[in-house]
Amino acid sequence: MLRWATLGLAAGAASAGAQGLFIDRDGGRHPWRTTADHVLLWDGEPYLPFGGMYCARAFWQDGDTPLQQDRELLQTIRDAGIEDLYLNPVREVPPSRLQQVIELLEELGFRYGLQICTPPESRIEGYGVGPDRFLARAEQPGRVTFPAEGLASARYVSVSAEAGALLGAGSVDAREGVFAVEAPEAPPGGALVKLIPRASAAWIAPEDGARTAEYLRQLRLGPGFRMLVDPIGNEYSPPRFFLPAAEAWREEFAQFLGARYRRPAELAEAWGLDPALPWSPERAARLVPLIGGPAGSGWADRGHVVDDGTEEVFTVDLRRSRMWWDVCEAREASLRTRLNDLCDTLKAVCDVPVVAKRHHESTSVWTSGREAGGLDGLGMESYVGGDRLATFNGAATYAEVVGTKRPLWCLVTEYNGVTWTDRRIAYRSREGMYADLNRLLALGARGVFTFGLSLAGSDGDKNWTIFELVHDPRQLEWLATFARAARADRAWLARQPRTAFAYPPQPSDAKAFVSGDLPDWGLTGSWTGERSILCLGPEAWLAPVSTLDAPGPVVVSPVIREWECFAWEREALDRAGARVLEADVAREASLEGRWPEFAAPVEAPVGITVWRPAEGVEAVAWRDDDGRSTVVLRSLGEAVRVRVAGVGPGLPTEVTLPGAELLEQGFLLSNPSFGAQGIEFRCPVGPSPRPVELIGVEREGLTVTRVE
């Protein structure tokens, strides 16, 4: 059931975007900034990259031979018309070796970025909260054992299975690879024994930024340099099911709670704690969730927590408790601050946009509340093609981009239309590639980097064969030609994606310590597709947001109105004055066709047309922003002479289209980590033949006739 409630208009993102000034090694000054349309302006002009990831052979092998191989590959890419790429990875490569590849890029006229790719080296201690892999049922007294799985210590709790009454709690160390807990005498119905393991998680620290900044200082970056990618780790995402327990974290968390809840009674109410007890932000920050009642049980709305300092155990009313959500929000706020500080550290050395690859689930880590500094862009990692580009990280990335305090650059940092079951190189046709590129632009991307141009670290590396466009140079030209059309008429840059926003999100760990009877209420934004993105109509999507700064209507589950634990979210909705649609998004497979404003079909962002005007001849046409047309003709097979007639300068005329030199080649895909090992296939590949280009010729009325 859908029910409208109009509460005004949602607030849009602020118009002042990220900005900086890059000074290249020659002293050239390059101002840059992001716009409200999520475009990067470089030297005052839109920077619209259409390229890909490049993994240099020289990064993995010493000597001149791999460097020469890189030169040949890069020349092939450049000859096809590709101007943009980014190198991956770079931090682990000696700076002098990276500099050699940078010199190649500058010499060949590339615009390029560097992917840092080094994960956080710091860790933070804490607890693993929520998963039931350390949960056992005991019917009688005795020892209950759990495999340690490499962990050293844990907390434990035992409760009556039927009523949830506390039977015991404490700490236990692993011995000989197991945790052993003495179960008490079990009441009728037995007892539940659960471990809450002490664990650690990667945590962004100032030292991470300092090490990368020192590395960057050793490079001489020329006028082609454009961006840094993944400033901390490859495809970083925050830890899930994890409660930090370091003293510094608890101080941060206490400050967060003190700012949100002005009085102890407010904190006790929001967390479902006994209001008669003396609560403070500092005490609340020490609480560790132990166990909550399972769904359908007589104690589904109750749980137990322990004070990590005093060992006192307290009962929590989970129907109204948002304790765990405050933990998650504060955890991500801490990481967000650390990430933005790291970005500023890097930009103090080379002031270019810093872009993160958006990965896995929705998170507020990327949605900076800063007016200046910090992260500058967010990249989609969308795969498979078709509508999956939206559900596979596409629409969710845009939702996080527009949820920031200031506009970020929105782009695609990885995409490919091939799947592991395909026996081909990337795309079957130009039309297929262009359809997917337009889908990505319709999702809000203002530039696209494919995965990838060349991904092999050596001649023997066959992990990513089917993704590498260098194996079929035609596809490099297809991409470059689309780039020409996209840059010729830039009206699409002002077009906003057709998106509504689901609030709040429901990431995988959102139910780690809540009422067992709480229904699902939202979307994860996960690229696995589970509760991720819903279709509203043609090129229209529903994506989750962590904040209400996103422009557009907001979709809210009825659960948010019905359950006490969402009191803070209800107040946030009322404060924002958002236009709200109520829909049970967690249970409805699709909202397509049920939202009139998204029902009408839309045109593709880039008006590029591909057709076959004569047998064995391919035509591609587009217009620039002055309305002038370009038509490109190519042979699809042998050389052919054609007569071209129509409206435009120089017509009619006869021209010869050079033949396509395609060869049937054999390929091997061997990536056991993805279940694609030893897959052999053959397919025709080769460069695009030289075209005949007609400027100012109208497609309407154009005829192409073979001259035998």
pLDDT tens by residue, 126-141: 999 987 889 999 988 8
**Considering Cα of 556, then 561, then 567, then 572, what sign does the dihedral take?**
positive
Burial state string for 454-491 with b = 16 or more CB within 10 A and e = fewer than 16 = bbbbeeeebbbbbbbbbbbbbbbbbbbbbbbbbebbbe
CA angle 221, 222, 223 (to 5 degrees): 135
pLDDT at 294 over 50: yes
pLDDT digits (tens, 9 = 90+) for 507-543: 999 999 999 999 999 999 988 776 788 999 999 999 9
pLDDT tier for residue 7 given thresholds of 50, 70 and 90: very low
What counts of helices (H) and strands (E) characterise the chain?
Answer: 13, 38
Instruction: Provide the pLDDT for residue 292.
Output: 97
Residue 568 to residue 297: CA distance in whole angstroms: 27
Residue 470 to residue 545: CA distance in whole angstroms: 38
Alpha-carbon distances of 596 from 311, 495, 536, rounded to whole Å: 56, 19, 9
Residue 481 to residue 169: CA distance in whole angstroms: 66
What order do you get walking across the sheet with 29-34 strand by strand? 19-23, 29-34, 40-42, 45-46
Residue 53 to residue 452: CA distance in whole angstroms: 5
pTM score > 0.75 for this model?
Answer: yes
DSSP string of 526-538? Answer: -TT-TT--EEEET
pLDDT at 408 over 50: yes
- Sequence letter at residue 708: E
pLDDT at 186 over 90: no
Q: 138-147, 574-583, 616-625, 637-646: which range is least confident on average?
A: 574-583
pLDDT at 3 over 60: no
Residue 112 to residue 87: CA distance in whole angstroms: 7
pLDDT at 421 over 60: yes
Check residues 578 and 602 and name the one with the higher pLDDT.
Answer: 602
Closest CA to 181 of 207, 155, 152: 155
Instruction: Provide the pLDDT for residue 1.
Output: 33
Instruction: Provide the pLDDT for residue 13.
Output: 39
Percent of the chain that is helix, strand, coil (3-state, to 5): 25, 30, 45
pLDDT at 9 over 50: no
Q: Give the H/E segment covering residue 124.
A: strand 123-128
In sequence order, what are the residues at sequence separation of 6 or more whose Cβ sits closer than 8 angstroms to the Cβ of residue 507? 240, 328, 361, 362, 363, 524, 525, 526
Instruction: Provide the pLDDT for residue 697.
Output: 94
Check residues 636 and 141 and name the one with the higher pLDDT.
Answer: 636
pLDDT tier for residue 586 given thresholds of 50, 70 and 90: confident
Instruction: Provide the pLDDT for residue 596.
Output: 81
Instruction: Provide the pLDDT for residue 403.
Output: 87
Q: What percent of the chain has pLDDT over 70?
A: 97
Check residues 74 and 456 and name the one with the higher pLDDT.
Answer: 74
Residue 688 to residue 476: CA distance in whole angstroms: 9
Yes or no: say if 501 and 544 are a contact pair by the CB < 8 Å rule: yes
pLDDT at 311 over 90: yes
Check residues 186 and 660 and name the one with the higher pLDDT.
Answer: 660
Look up residue 352 and give its DSSP letter. Answer: S
Per the DSSP assignment, residues forming a β-bridge with 228 are: 114, 354
Residue 73 to residue 386: CA distance in whole angstroms: 29
Beta strand pairing call for 377-383 and 354-357: parallel
Residue 245: left (phi > 0), alpha (psi -120 to 50), or beta? Answer: alpha
pLDDT at 424 over 90: yes
Yes or no: say if 514 and 558 are a contact pair by the CB < 8 Å rule: no
Q: What is the rounded average pLDDT of the residues 356-376?
A: 90
- Sequence letter at residue 570: R
In sequence order, what are the residues at sequence separation of 6 or more whose Cβ sits closer than 8 angstroms to the Cβ of residue 321? 270, 271, 272, 273, 303, 513, 514, 565
Residue where the block lists tokens 């709670």: 257
Q: What is the rounded average pLDDT of the residues 322-338?
A: 97
Q: HSE-up of 23 (CA within 13 Å, CB side)?
A: 4
pLDDT at 197 over 90: yes
The H-assigned helical ranges of 299-322 are: none
DSSP string of 642-665? Answer: EEEESSSTT-SEEEEEPPP--EEE
* Nearest 10 degrees: Cα torsion 63, 64, 66, 71: 150
Instruction: Provide the pLDDT for residue 5.
Output: 31
pLDDT at 365 over 70: yes
**Considering Cα of 620, then 86, then 401, then 538, what sign does the dihedral take?**
positive
Beta strand pairing call for 409-416 and 377-383: parallel
Which pair of structure tokens corresponds to residue 627?
Answer: 């309305």
Q: What is the rounded average pLDDT of the residues 183-209?
A: 93
Q: What is the rounded average pLDDT of the residues 663-683?
A: 93
Q: What is the rounded average pLDDT of the residues 565-594?
A: 85
Q: 30-44, 317-331, 359-373, 562-576: which range is least confident on average?
A: 359-373
Residue 521 to residue 294: CA distance in whole angstroms: 18
Q: What is the rounded average pLDDT of the residues 286-300?
A: 97
Which pair of structure tokens corresponds to residue 82?
Answer: 């590709």
Domains and CATH numbers, the chain: 3-12+497-598 (no CATH), 43-120+207-237+330-488 (3.20.20.80), 123-204+239-322 (no CATH), 609-706 (no CATH)
Q: 233-242, 314-323, 604-613: which range is least confident on average?
A: 233-242
Check residues 587 and 643 and name the one with the higher pLDDT.
Answer: 643
Closest CA to 350 of 485, 509, 467, 221: 221
In sequence order, what are the residues at sequence separation of 6 or more whose Cβ sits closer than 8 angstroms to the Cβ of residue 97? 58, 59
Residue where the block lists tokens 């026996």: 423
In sequence order, what are the residues at sequence separation of 6 or more whose Cβ sits closer than 8 angstroms to the Cβ of residue 251? 285
Residue 605 to residue 626: CA distance in whole angstroms: 16
Q: Give the H/E segment covering residue 542.
A: strand 540-544
Residue 430: left (phi > 0), alpha (psi -120 to 50), or beta? Answer: alpha
Q: Give the rounded distance of the alpha carbon of 708 from its chain centre.
A: 53
In sequence order, what are the residues at sequence separation of 6 or more whose Cβ sits closer than 8 angstroms to the Cβ of residue 30? 21, 22, 23, 24, 42, 43, 223
Instruction: Provide the pLDDT for residue 10.
Output: 31
Terminal-to-terminal C-alpha distance of the chain? 64
Strand blocks (E) in 308-376: 313-317, 354-357
pLDDT tier for residue 268 given thresholds of 50, 70 and 90: very high
CA angle 287, 292, 298 (to 5 degrees): 140
Which pair of structure tokens corresponds to residue 343?
Answer: 């970005």
Q: What is the rounded average pLDDT of the residues 175-203?
A: 93
